[in-house]
Structure 1
Amino acid sequence: MRYLILFPHAQWLESLSLEEGLFKNSTLVLPHNSLETAQVKRLQPFLGEIIQVENYFMTGEVEWLVYKIFQKAPFDRIIAPDEEDILRAGRLRTLLDLEGQNYESSLAFRDKIVMKEILAKKGIVVPPFRALNNYSDFIEFIQSHTFPIVLKPRLGTGCQGIHVLHSEDDVRKILSNSSVFSNSEITLLQTEVFIHGPMYHINGLAIGEKVICSWPSVYLHSALGIIAGTYAASSLLAAENPLTDKLNQYAKKIIKLMPTPQAAAFHLEVFMVDGQDEPVFCEIASRVGGKGVNHSWKTSFNIDLKKLFILMQANIDIKVIEQPRTPSVISGEVWFPKIKGTLVHIENQCPFPWVKEYEVYSRPGDALSSPHDITEILGGTPLILGESEIELQKRIEDLEAWFYQNTKIS
């Protein structure tokens, strides 16, 4: 079988089973300068062709390239595990009549309006929401609901472009921001009511609309904390936590109701509201959760979601994956945002043995600006461990205190 592989980030290569010879006749497409010449030479024996595209993200160059490759030497499947390529790959599969997640399914898992409309019609609790076509739509929604109000892109990734509005003054400021509202017709934005309550994410894999493995985590501090200037942190739930089974069962329900492809990874986010038994749906993506999710799964369940997802997209049989019964250890992640100023000092190593990986993204002398997206981080860890939820939460607090005590910004 021959594959066309789209990797917007070279890090995905770590999850490609090259040594097994599965992709020897395949074409790998990446952004320009993703790989050094030495890396290309090392990878070449395992792949048929490696193409680096100049304008990978902002133009249709990739689509045209894939179309021409298919005309010359048809491939059987498209492998595209990253969120940035889900819609692109869906369109291409539909255009070329290939198996896998088609455009209709990919849109449902990317467009926050489409997914809420599908689920709301089927009885799932969702926040009050509205697609925005013009300024008046936004003002009308605000008239009908109380603050806080959330404004965000329908196709956004991470927390990019998300605004939480607390007052009419916030509304005035956002309406006058030309980078948000560039003209009177605003077709790619949506608004919804802010939901008060802890937020959870459930990650897993599904085959034939049946969840084969899933497990929930709690956002101890949501990703919006990065934009707010605090920090973001997440922790797996323990097996004995009563929400663990409830959220696993909820994930099964959502996967059945959505137009889920034959082989899927999923990252589902929900709120739990006091006095309300049913979770409130936030959004779902047909991909592996970002940042530390895969680190956590490999450590706590010995399951590599990224590698398995690629094999599933390639229609390669994977070993029987059983639903985890309990994590071997409670794992999580912590990320600290950039702070406006000049970085004077930051520690490059972490002294805590329960912080298994520690990453720093800036150096002394760097000029830092306030973050506008969850990717704008100063440092943190994709893998922090504890024997219980309580112990992990305490260790996250200890790491936060240590990090800020040892980071100086002028």
Structure 2
Amino acid sequence: MERPVTFLCLASQFKGVAFLEECHRQGCQVLLLCAEKTRNEAWPTEAITERFFMPKLGVYPDIIHAVSYLAREHKIDRIVGMDDFDVEIAARLREHLRVPGMGDTTARYFRDKLAMRVQARDEGLPVPEFVHLLNYDEVREYMQSVPPPWVLKPRSEAGSVGIKKLHHAEELWHYAEQLGDQQSHYLLERYLPGDVFHVDSVVYDYEVLFNRASRYGVAPFNVWNEGGVFSTRSLSDDDPLAQEMYELNRRLVKAMRLVRGVTHTEFIRSGDGKLYFLEMAARVGGANVDMHVEACSGVNLWREWVRLELACLKKQPYSV
């Protein structure tokens, strides 16, 4: 009798219910390893083979030891990180267990805002001018050549968390002093006012098989820092702006070396009318973006993620 495929799903936050349900529908076993704070959330228990909890998932070597212990009794075929913070944890676990999928180096392109900017810039993609908060001479030169305002960004936070808008060099040095040894975990970037867009994609064998372009009602940075209602609306596929973003998104997928998966990519259109790359995540977009995409296209990104992973594992053709 053929052994069912086993997914290890990592969840620092309560999300990915549709992924778990699709795994179950496809006859897979699901091991759910989640943060203790999610214990009382409405997980679909009928779709979960076994559920495990840890105080925090991103603590090393604890997570390595815990999953290695599970692997004594379970043959793990695929490891999936549901949340932004889980992407790099999943990558490190794949490296340690030698499970197929994205490894540490590629994961940095999707979690480290500095790494993804350097990669995009080096591949000729448009990005706002930035500098690593590392060498003070380079930082001073940057502030002299790039007019304020700037945004100070943590390299590994999710979305707009921890981003500060700065207007003077003195502000930067004030925050730098407060950061102390954490300075190198930040970058400084030119602040661009404008409309912010997102493209949500399904990728297989380096090719974008599905994408949907949308425009945020209010930029996530503004909602996070000033409050307001989060909203987004889709663009028509034949909109020239959508077509331009689709082309940039395809180039980014190749630049970031993504073999397969789902992506959430953000762009900003500044006053000069040009699109600039902001960031790219190798996961389903948060804030119910998945429901928005499904409502306007009929494609459920979580379910497609399961389907493409199974197609790869079973060496079968895949299409959205």
What is the TM-score of this pair, normalised by structure 2? 0.86
The match for 1:284 among 280, 283, 286 is 280
Shift of 1:271: 1.9
Q: Which amino acid aligns with 2:212?
A: W
Change (3 A) 1:146 1:62: same
Cα distance in 2, alignment partners of residues 33 and 229 from structure 1: 27
Cα displacement (A) at 1:107: 0.9
Note the C-alpha offset of 1:313: 3.6
Q: How has the CA–CA distance of structure 1 residues 145 and 46 changed in structure 2, closer, same or farther, with 3 Å as cutoff?
A: closer
TM-superposition CA deviations, 1:357-400 (whole Å, max 9, x none): xxxxxxxxxxxxxxxxxxxxxxxxxxxxxxxxxxxxxxxxxxxx
Give CA-to-partner distance per residue, 1:110-135, whole Å, 9 cap, x none. 11111122221221121211222266
Matched residues in 2 for 1:132 and 1:33: separation? 33
Aligned residue in 2 for 1:320 = 319
- Whole-Å Cα distance in 2 between the matches of residues 46 and 290 of structure 1? 22
Q: 1:139 to 1:235 in 2, by over 3 A?
A: same
Task: State the partner residue of 1:197.
Answer: 194
2:231 counterpart letter in structure 1: A
- How many equivalent residue pairs? 311
Q: 2: distance between equivalents of 1:150 and 1:253?
A: 25
Structure-2 separation of matches of 1:83 and 1:313: 18
C-alpha deviation, 1:198, in angstroms: 2.1
Q: Secondary structure at the match of 1:133?
A: coil
- 1:55 is paired with a residue whose SS is coil
Instruction: State the identity %.
Output: 21
Q: CA deviation at 1:149?
A: 1.0
Compared with structure 1, are the counterparts of its residues 85 and 19 closer, same or farther at alpha carbon in structure 2 (3 Å cutoff)?
A: closer
1:240–1:122 Cα change, 3 Å? closer
- 1:257-300 CA-partner distances (Å, limit 9, x unpaired): 22113x211111112234455x2111111111111311111211
Amino acid in the other structure paired with 2:302: K
CA distance in 2, matches of 1:311, 1:8: 23
Q: Aligned pair in 2 of structure 1 residues 60, 130: CA closer, same or farther (>3 Å)?
A: same
- On the 8 A contact 2:212/2:237 being kept in 1, the answer is no
Q: 1:114, 1:61 → 2: CA distance?
A: 26
Residues 193 and 275 from structure 1, CA distance in 2 versus in 1: closer, same or farther, beyond 3 angstroms?
A: closer
Q: After TM superposition, give the deviation of residue 137 of structure 1 in Å.
A: 5.1
2:155 corresponds in structure 1 to: 154
- Give 1:158-197 correspondences, 5 Å limit: 158-171=159-172, 173-176=174-177, 178=178, 181-183=179-181, 186-197=183-194
Q: 1:297-336, CA deviations, whole angstroms, 9 ceiling, x for partnerless residues?
A: 1211111112222343454669732xxxxxxxxxxxxxxx
Residues 174-209 of structure 1 show CA distances to partners (whole Å, capped at 9, x for unaligned) of: 345x3xx133x6221111111233221111111011
Distance 2:148 2:56 in 1: 40
Shift of 1:51: 1.1
Secondary structure at the residue paired with 2:15?
helix
> Is the radius of gyration larger for structure 1 or structure 2?
1
Residue 144 of structure 1: how far off its partner (Å): 3.1
Within 5 Å, give how 1:207-286 maps onto structure 2.
207-231=204-228, 232-261=230-259, 263-276=260-273, 279-286=275-282
Cα offset, 1:256, TM superposition: 2.0
Which structure has greater helix proportion? 2
Would the alpha carbon gap of residues 204 and 58 (structure 1) be closer, same or farther in structure 2, given more than 3 Å must change? same
Structure 1 CA distance, aligned partners of 2:263 and 2:277? 14
Report the CA distance shift for 1:169/1:117 in structure 2 as closer, same or farther (over 3 A): closer
1:20 alignment counterpart: 25
Q: How far did 1:220 drift?
A: 2.8
Q: Distance in 1 between matches of 2:126 and 2:245?
A: 14
Structure 1: gaps spanning 5 or more residues: 322-410
Deviations 1:236-259 (A, max 9, x none): 113453212221222112212221
TM value normalised by structure 1: 0.69
Give the secondary-structure state (helix, strand or coil) at the position aligned to 1:11: coil
| CA positional deviation for 1:84 | 1.4
State the AA in 2 paired with 1:34: T
Where structure 2 has 5 or more consecutive residues not aligned to the other structure, the ranges are none
Q: What is residue 294 of structure 1 aligned with on the other side?
A: 290
Cα gap change, 1:116 to 1:11, in 2 (>3 Å): closer
Provide the rounded CA distance (Å) in 1 between the counterparts of 2:40 and 2:169: 51
Q: Is the 8 A contact 1:218 1:234 kept in 2?
A: yes
Query: 1:197·1:271 contact (CA, 8 Å) conserved in 2?
Result: yes
